[in-house]
């Protein structure tokens, strides 16, 4: 959780529909009994404190090392540092910028991951958006369909877009790939509105609209 961001200034702590952005995903995580501890890797402990968040029995705040700060540092390097410092059977990684990710979806993804591990068919999981539409290259040539034989988009082969909402893995799977996606990952499809990931001002506006639809009780008083 960075203090600064490039395209939406201060977004991690900016109020979204009545509460700071970071509280949305934190509240969802803390609602899940299976999650023993939420670890926040940050260079903004003081800003969290200003917003009423300090360490507790289920929240650990880790100060991000200076060499891991900055906009170009790979998230996998930050995760490697967390894994080395916080031993666990299973790691679940998400971002402050995924405010609509619900506890129900996290529980469903955990169940899918645990079933895959038990069956020996999976070592990790990540969330995706299912897309069935017509894609073109820059030269207007078709990518995934035949322009001379148009079929309904719902009959096209589905493609799956990594949506950066949720990753589940172990220290072993991370060690094999040096990444949060292992050698045998499962895909967990999310609903499009829930999968909002805030990178741009347009994303923020979309998140505000979705929040107004999904959580009217959080609407500011008028």
Neighbours of 166 (CB within 10 A): 25
pLDDT of residue 217: 53
What is the pLDDT, as a whole number, of residue 207? 96
How far is 60 from 89, CA to CA, in rounded Å?
A: 17
Question: Which residue positions in the chain have pLDDT lower than 50?
Answer: 218-222
8-state DSSP, 164: E
Q: Which residues pair with 80 in a beta bridge?
A: none
Helices (H), the chain: 21-30, 45-50, 75-85, 103-119, 171-177, 201-214
Half-sphere exposure of 124 (CA within 13 A, CB side): 24
Has domain 11-218 been given CATH number 3.90.550.10?
A: yes
Phi-psi region of 208 (alpha: psi -120 to 50; beta: other; left: phi over 0): alpha
**pLDDT score recorded for residue 78:** 96
Cα 68–Cα 90–Cα 60 angle in degrees, nearest 5: 50
pLDDT of residue 214: 82
The model's pTM: 0.92
| Burial environment of residue 38 by CB neighbours within 10 A (0 to 12, 13 to 18, 19 or more) | middle
Quick check: 198 and 11 in contact, CB under 8 A? Answer: yes
Domain boundaries defined on the chain: 11-218
């Amino acid at each position: 959780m960075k203090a600064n961001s490039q395209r939406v200034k201060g977004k991690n702590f900016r109020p979204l529909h009545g509460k700071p952005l970071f509280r949305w995903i934190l509240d969802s995580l803390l609602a899940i009994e299976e999650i023993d501890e939420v670890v926040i890797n940050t260079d903004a402990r003081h800003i969290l404190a200003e917003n009423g968040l300090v360490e507790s029995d289920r929240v650990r705040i880790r100060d991000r090392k200076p060499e891991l700060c900055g906009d170009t540092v790979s998230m996998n390097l930050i995760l490697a540092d967390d894994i080395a410092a916080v031993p666990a059977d299973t790691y679940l990684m998400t971002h402050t910028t995924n405010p609509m990710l619900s506890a129900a979806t996290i529980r469903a993804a955990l169940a899918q991951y645990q079933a895959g591990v038990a069956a020996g068919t999976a070592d990790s999981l990540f969330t995706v958006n299912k897309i069935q539409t017509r894609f073109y290259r820059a030269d207007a040539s078709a990518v995934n369909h035949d322009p001379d034989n148009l079929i309904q988009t719902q009959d096209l082969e589905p493609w799956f877009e990594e949506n950066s909402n949720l990753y589940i893995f172990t220290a072993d799977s991370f060690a094999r790939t040096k990444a949060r996606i292992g050698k045998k990952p499962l895909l967990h499809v999310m609903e499009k509105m829930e999968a909002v990931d805030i990178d741009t001002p347009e994303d923020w506006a979309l998140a505000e609209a979705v929040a107004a639809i999904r959580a009217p009780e959080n609407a500011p008083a008028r």
